[in-house]
Structure 1
Amino acid sequence: MATTHDGTLSAPDAAVTDPARSVPPIGLGTRIGYGSGAIANGIKNAAFTTYLLFFYSQIIGVPAGVVSAAVALTLLVDAVADPLLGRWSDRTRSRWGRRHPFIYGAALPTALFFLLAWFPPAGMSDLQTGIWIFVTASLTRMSISAFEISTSAMTPELTEDYRERTRLFGLRWWFGYAGTYGFTTLCLLTFFAATPEFPRGQLNPAGYPGFAIAGALTIFAAILICGIATHNRIPYLRQAEVRTERTSLIGHLREMGSALKNRAFLAIFGFGVLKYSAIGLYSATTLFFLTYLYQLNAAQVAILTIDSLVAATIAAPLAPVMSAWIGKRASSMLFAVVGVSIGLTPLFLAYNGWFFAPGHPLLVPTLFAIGALYGAMVAISLINTSSMLADVVEDSALKTGRHEAGTFFAASSFMQQCSTAVGIFLAGRLLIWADFPAKPAPGQVSEEAIRSLVIHYIPCSIGLWSLGALFLLFYPITKAKHEANVAALRAREAEARAVEMDNSALLGPAR
């Protein structure tokens, strides 16, 4: 039985796991399969945040303002689609549970729409190309949101343990980084390898079709592997409660609103929107800095991409240690602000003429070391914040009587989509303010334009991260509070089961 917000009993909740029932531990194959699903979102993020603006503005020749505005408008679609997908996932009942139908159903559409985004029809005007970007990006993001929301919502259902959740999210973030940076590294060394005509292979138009096809196929495979690997956990996942009456639209909105007004959630949401926007801004501009400020070729860019994999490998085991040592909230705030400050150092030094000049033998190694350190600190913050959101599920359930992980992780999906929409929009604005040319000829990008881009970027980036971190001051859930929430929910569910058994005995046939 499930309880409502006023403490009364509702229809039986098939998801409440009976403590007497033996639940097998999560096997290594299931863990790896679950984590590897994040490769799909990692590839989408890398392609859309780092390469989409670069491809359309520097290769196709569409003004950066048109591209950034088209991508920014997709945020309006996400604002409607993500909460509906999360709510739909929470309420779905099927023989495959409430998460796996969305996982399997997302594989083919995500891969197809992702592929179409990189093949705009020839002969279109800038406005028509902007519409093409908006439509294909929106459909890609909605499709992958169905997958990402459902898989993320499984985490609080896989384990209630405070630290174990951080480990699972650490694994998931590592695979996400592998998708983002491992895939792009391979592409830079293959599809964007230097040629006599294009010594900086990222400017070679012929490399992008292979890049898009490889991305689509890998996304499709990663989603299916995640679904198949976690299929054996379906009997042990929390299922949707049985409802005897249909819920009206107003009722759905009211229930979603009562969950999303949770104070802990609002703190994470405020931080999330700003931090992911900052991440999107970084991703959308970094290829411009590497290409024009540091004047690196594709092989050197590939080397610097590996530093993020090093960062994720460091962060995954350290994140649960830091959460146990100083708490999830403190580690999320500290590592975010300090890490980003370190990451901005090369740009600040280069702007003032104090950094290694292009071609210096120490340039790439120094950027690699700083990138690995900065990336590891930011990754620890991201992992612990994701784990914090999982803890919100029980905090909300104690107040509302409903386990709505899908609703909360729909908001998380929306936050991450901000990294593409808001980040690319801000990058487009910075490029316009810097008077950066579209599809420039060799040597056409002036030093003044590059310096202007740097000086606009630094305060924008650190400002987003610092302001976002302040929101976490309002996050109230500690380890002790989480454990108390879990214990209270178990007691409530045990009481509901006891009442159900008593009622069944009283109403049973006479013997």
Structure 2
Amino acid sequence: MSNEARPERAPSRLSLRTIATYAAGSVGTGGYATLPGLVLTYFLTDNLGVAALAAGLIVTVAKVWDVVIDPLIGAASDRQLARTGSRRGFMITGAITLPVFFALTFAVPPSWGPAAGAICVLLAFLGTATAFSLFQVPYVALPAELTDGYDERTRLLGWRVIVLTAAILLFGAGGPMLRRATGDPVTGYLLMGIVAGLAIGVGMLIAARTARASALASPTPSPARLHSADETPRNAGDLGRGMQSRGLREQYLSGFRTLRRSAPFRALLGTFVLQALATGTMLAGAQYVARWVLGDEAAVEILFVALVAPALIATPAWTALSRRTGKERAFLGASILFLIASASIVIAVWMPGVWIYASVAVAGIAYAGLQSLPMAMLPDVISHDARTGGSGQAGTFTGIWTAGETVGFALGATAVSLMLAATGYISTVAGVETVQPDAAVTGIVLSFSILPAVLMALSILPLSRYRLRRSDIDAAQTLPA
């Protein structure tokens, strides 16, 4: 064998403890992503009497704030890693502060009036969003640091999505149950905010332990990581001082350079943002479908069971399929399946009924793949960029990624509120009954069916431009002799 030979190095296998600890963070992710998306717009329009358009604007402003700070948190997380060898500090700060702001978001009583109530909810939700970003941005960066194996990342993220799916079921069904537990909407929302906020914070704190483990993982770095911020570099002090000297403008420009440099990241991010927008519209519209299409506010819990229960079973199947066909092909299959399932719900305009649960269940099977597969592909993109570009700024990648995801979910709620406003939806305060016009009910169905289907179809275009394959990742597992 010549001196140029490059023997393969098998990636380390993650322990069950590491996988379980990391997956616990999805309790927080699932709770934050589910409850505000499910009930916040409804809380504003049907409990505080805020107009639908204004309610959508409140959610959008808070999410735009996320987009502004996420790249900064990502860069700061890279600096913390370079300085201390861990991203743990940011994660713990977010975990401790989020329960407080989350409870305050749902603590506003209708007696304060729509204007004052809207302002208070906006301020509290801005605090919640900031706390969540402090946790989520470094959390998403960890898989690239925990393992460099193509299939091992799928295994790690697959279990994370199983916990995420269970958390969505828990918060999506349990949150509305807590809201009704007191028999009074005002105290019910407060109870929901306190209990859910604490559960989210506990999950985040558990996952923060993984950040310490990631700094110690893989004692023999691969070429992809010799120049990477994903491990503590030998010249960590020099790197830390260099990154600290960068201004805000440079940190934002670094994110744009990342997008320009990495074609796989652009394709994956574009796909994920459009799909977050699609699923965000369904999430924001579920409560309205339950009350005004199915005729029972409590039906939202059944909708969530129909969506999430199949996903618990389907996630391992998507993981297995990705090993046979590649992550990108399995991801395409999940996207097409979700498109078909969501489009079929449009029939409810003319024939509403319990059959909707079947379509939602099929969408739930697809949703498991839409969550696990792109999250397993993101560490591949990060390590590929580190190997080819030598940058290895995982926090910068995940800051942009989290901002994009936030934009998608925020605009999903905005799209629903615009649809409601355009079709004449009537807002009200807690305890006051009203009747919605037929046009508003039609708008609710369209926002839950055709709108997400169209967005999912659009997401397939950037996905078709994703060129990173297993062979590209496996190439990073070789070392010079």
Q: Same fold (TM over 0.5)?
A: yes
Other structure's SS at 2:392 match: coil
1:281 maps to amino acid: T
C-alpha distance 63-351 of structure 1, shift in aligned 2 (>3 A): same
- TM-score, structure 2 as length reference: 0.86
Give structure 1 stretches of 5+ with no counterpart.
1-18, 199-203, 357-362, 495-511
Q: Identify the match of residue 242 of structure 1 among 229, 236, 243.
A: 236
Spell out the pairing of 1:48-67 with structure 2 (5 A cutoff).
48-67=36-55
Given that residues 29 and 229 in structure 1 are in contact (C-alpha distance below 8 angstroms), is that contact kept between their aligned partners in structure 2?
no
Residue 472, structure 1, aligned to residue 430, structure 2: no
Aligned counterpart, 1:224: 205
Equivalent pair of 1:167/1:316 in contact (CA under 8 Å) = no
Closer, same or farther: CA 187–251 of 1 in aligned 2, 3 Å: closer
1:449-508 Cα offsets, whole Å, 9 max, x none, are 212332455332212111112111111100011212443xx54xx9xxxxxxxxxxxxxx
Report deviation, 1:447.
Answer: 3.2
Is the Cα–Cα contact under 8 Å of residues 73 and 134 in structure 2 kept in the other structure?
A: yes
Instruction: Work out whether residues 110 and 220 of structure 1, in 8 Å CA contact, stay in contact via their aligned partners in 2.
Output: yes
What letter is aligned with 1:466? A
CA 1:125–1:230: 2 relative to 1, 3 Å: same
Deviation at 1:232, TM superposition (A): 4.1
Counterpart mapping for 1:186-265 below 5 A = 186-192=174-180, 204-228=185-209, 231-236=212-217, 238-239=231-232, 242=236, 244=238, 246=242, 247-249=245-247, 252-261=251-260, 262-265=262-265
The one-letter amino acid paired with 1:242 is: A
Aligned residues: 453
Q: What is the match of residue 201 of structure 1?
A: none
Are 2:56 and 2:413, in contact at CA under 8 Å, matched by a contact in 1? yes
Q: Which amino acid aligns with 2:129?
A: R
TM-score (norm 1): 0.82
Letter in 1 for 2:287: L
User: 2:423 & 2:402 partners in 1: Cα distance?
Assistant: 31
Alignment of 1:348-359 (within 5 A): 348-353=346-351, 355-356=352-353
What are the Cα deviations for residues 186-224 of structure 1, in whole angstroms up to 9, with x where unaligned? 2334442596xx9xxxxx444211111111110121111
Distance 1:310 1:453, change over 3 A: closer
Stretches of structure 2 that go unaligned for 5 or more consecutive residues are 1-7, 218-229
Q: What code does the residue aligned with 2:284 have?
A: A
Per-residue CA distance 1:294-318 (angstroms, 9 max, x = gap): 11242x4323322333233123211
Asked whether the equivalents of residues 307 and 368 of structure 1 are also in contact (C-alpha less than 8 Å), the reply is yes
Whether the 8 Å CA contact 1:259–1:400 is kept in 2: the answer is: no
Is 1:442–2:436 an aligned residue pair? no
Residues 478/73 of structure 1: CA separation in 2 closer, same or farther (3 Å cut): same
Quick check: 1:69 aligned with 2:69? no
Cα-to-partner distance string for 1:344-392 (whole Å, 9 max, x where unaligned): 32x3222123x53xxxxxx2xx444432221111221221111111111
Q: Is the 8 A contact 2:60 2:414 kept in 1?
A: yes
Q: How does 1:38-437 map to 2 (within 5 A)?
A: 38-93=26-81, 97-120=85-108, 124=112, 126-192=114-180, 204-228=185-209, 231-236=212-217, 238-239=231-232, 242=236, 244=238, 246=242, 247-249=245-247, 252-261=251-260, 262-298=262-298, 300-345=299-344, 347-353=345-351, 355-356=352-353, 363=354, 366-437=355-426
Report the equivalent of 2:224.
none
Q: Are 2:277 and 2:408, in contact at CA under 8 Å, matched by a contact in 1?
A: yes
Is 1:29 aligned with 2:17? yes
Counterpart code for 2:457: S
Q: Does the 8 A contact of 1:36 with 1:226 survive in 2?
A: yes
**1:147 Cα deviation (Å)?**
0.9
Equivalent position amino acid for 2:343 in 1: L
Deviation at 1:68, TM superposition (A): 0.6
Largest Rg, 1 or 2: 1
Equivalent residues of 1:107, 1:223 under 8 A apart: yes
Distance across 2 between alignment mates of 1:251 and 1:209? 42
- Is the CA contact (8 Å cut-off) linking 1:174 and 1:309 kept in structure 2? no
Q: What is the CA–CA distance in structure 1 between the aligned matches of 2:63 and 2:69, rounded to whole Å?
A: 10
Describe the SS at the equivalent of 1:474: coil
Q: Is the contact made by 1:182 and 1:309 (CA closer than 8 Å) also made in structure 2?
A: no
Q: How many angstroms apart in 1 are the aligned matches of 2:259 and 2:112?
A: 42
